[in-house]
Structure 1
Amino acid sequence: MKETYVLLYDGECGFCNFWVNWVMQNDRKGIFNFASLQGNFGQNFLTNKSLPLKRFNTLYLIRPDGTVDEKSDAVIKICSLLGCWYKLGVVFKIVPKFLRDKIYDVVAKNRRKLASGNCPLPTKEQRKKFIN
């Protein structure tokens, strides 16, 4: 049985949905599942971690061992897991976390402006990767 990771994201954000679709398309190993922070799984996760239930300004990556990456650490881990050229994203680990996360926060704050508003619906096969 292969290990899977769960990517939690803002399901009402076009920018976030764009990147979820991008990860899905580049997940050659089939190791990612997805859940919106607004859904049951996401809300349970936030509750268990004592995080705000209505503020969705970051993504979380739950590893198979239950540890959680967030913000820039999650992005870097996703890149490393996708492999190929995306693995080069780990080079950003040399940038101090506080600076990486500051940049992440600026993008997160402006993500609704960055979204095109058009999000393709997932295919039937892709829907199997979503957790409610």
Structure 2
Amino acid sequence: MNVVIYDGDCGFCQYWIRWLLKHDSNERLLFADQYSAFFQSLPVRTADSVMLIAGRHSYTKSDAVIEILAAIGCRKLAFAGRLVPKVLRDALYEIIAKYRHRLAPKSCEIMPDAYKKRFIG
């Protein structure tokens, strides 16, 4: 099971979750926001970062983004991301994370019913 943990109060994060839902045609990803009971039950926690729980592994920051892209079939993009040194990838991630609330509206449109089954609480 691959579960993407994200900030449910962030319009930027919600935009990218919608993008993932549209591009994950094989439905390899499930989603939970960081305020969910699922996330609160995890022994591993992170703040201000997307997180991917993939089996027994967990990934954060740019590693999570790369693994998420690989999971939905964007292998070339994931490969290119791995070529960039982690310290640079994470620095870019931190800049985007710092300004993410300014990059998109605070609220998002209602999630279509077809996608609701992909969210766990």
Deviations 1:47-102, CA, capped at 9 Å, x for gaps: x12x46xxx41011011x2211111011111111221xx32222111111111011
Indicate whether 1:59 and 2:50 are aligned.
yes
Letter in 1 for 2:66: I
Aligned to 1:17: 14
Letter in 2 for 1:31: R
Gaps of 5+ in 1: none
Distance 1:109 1:123 in 2: 29
Aligned to 1:117: 106
TM-score, length of structure 1 as denominator length: 0.84
Distance 1:28 1:6 in 2: 15
How far does residue 12 in structure 1 lie from its aligned partner after superposition? Answer: 0.4
How far does residue 41 in structure 1 lie from its aligned partner after superposition? Answer: 0.9
Distance 1:131 1:66 in 2: 18
Letter in 2 for 1:57: D
Matched positions, count:
120
Q: Tell me, yes or no, if the aligned pair for 2:10 and 2:107 is still in contact at 8 Å.
A: no
Secondary structure of the residue aligned to 1:8 is: strand
Aligned to 1:29: 26
Distance 2:77 2:17 in 1: 17
How far does residue 8 in structure 1 lie from its aligned partner after superposition? Answer: 0.3
Distance 1:5 1:125 in 2: 19
Aligned to 2:77: 89
TM-score, length of structure 2 as denominator length: 0.91
How far does residue 118 in structure 1 lie from its aligned partner after superposition? Answer: 4.4
Gaps of 5+ in 2: none
Runs ≥4 residues deviating over 4 A:
none
Distance 2:102 2:71 in 1: 28
Determine what percentage of the aligned residue pairs are the same residue. 34
Distance 1:97 1:74 in 2: 12
Letter in 1 for 2:77: G
CA RMSD in angstroms comes to 1.4
